[in-house]
Amino acid sequence: MVGGKRIALTTLLAVGGFIGACFCHPYADAGPRIRASSVTYRIGGTAQTALQCRPHGAGPFPAVVYFHGKIVDVEGVTGAARRGYNLDGMCEALAAEGYFVWAPIRTSGPDDVPSNYAEVSRAMDALATFPEVDDARVALMGFSRGALLALMVGLERRDLKALVLLAPAPGDGAWAQAVGEIERLTAPVLVLVEAGDQAVILDNVEMVERALKAQDKVFDVVHYTRGGGHRLFWDVGYYWKDVVAF
């Protein structure tokens, strides 16, 4: 949506600036399959882990920072994968499109949104030191709790080129608080949700859609009705074409 009026994603691609320039890389889909790898980085003196997927080619690459859902906070990466949350697959799929993908793994637990936010904010600062990343082309993507954190980070930063929010979770009122500050947001936003999701998730999407429209922000909201509910975004699926197009 531009100036409070909904537009199609294909139209949004023609808007000037970052999106009009195409958030893509000439090495997309070249070479053998990209594999996700677990890497260690440091925030101050503390070692943290992240899932990383690097495209083929020399770089520097546009980057997508992916904030995982609460399922990883609760189950861990391996436990979430056993239940079907395919973090590796989504990382690899984005890298195959030419993006350097950085998915920091939170360690502050599932019940502490402020600490989650502090973690991912520091992870964003760590990413800025990577020579293979074009820091002028960085987007945030998050699912559920990760979508909440992506919006919170997006409100604070002016160097982001896009936000992709998948089925945003409430976070004990943190979502409503962030949406109340939506006028501070500068990046275009894509919000995706499936009609079979929980009522609170659908309400969150309606809330942010109203706020984005009221503030004349550039955004699009897609409501799917083909099934999957919250778990639709646990893996690459039929919604993925809209993520890539944006």
Rounded distance, CA 95 to CA 104, Å?
15
Please give the pLDDT value at position 31. 63
* Banded pLDDT at 33 (limits 50, 70, 90): confident
Question: Which pTM value belongs to this model?
Answer: 0.88
Q: What is the pLDDT of residues 213-237, one digit of tens each?
A: 999 999 999 999 999 999 999 999 9
- In 44-59, which positions are buried (b, 16+ CB within 10 angstroms) versus exposed (e)? eeeebebbbbbbbeeb
Q: What is the pLDDT of residues 129-139, one digit of tens each?
A: 999 999 999 99
Other C-beta atoms closer than 10 Å to the C-beta of 223 total 14
What is the spatial order of strands in the sheet that 133-143 belongs to?
A: 37-43, 46-53, 100-104, 61-67, 133-143, 162-166, 189-194, 219-224
Q: What is the pLDDT of residues 146-202, one digit of tens each?
A: 999 999 999 999 999 999 999 999 999 999 999 999 999 999 999 999 999 999 999
30 CB-side CA count, 13 A: 12
Rounded distance, CA 209 to CA 105, Å?
28
Cα–Cα nearest to 162, from 197, 189, 142: 189
* Banded pLDDT at 43 (limits 50, 70, 90): confident
Average pLDDT of the residues of the chain: 89
Please give the pLDDT value at position 10. 33
Rounded distance, CA 238 to CA 94, Å?
14
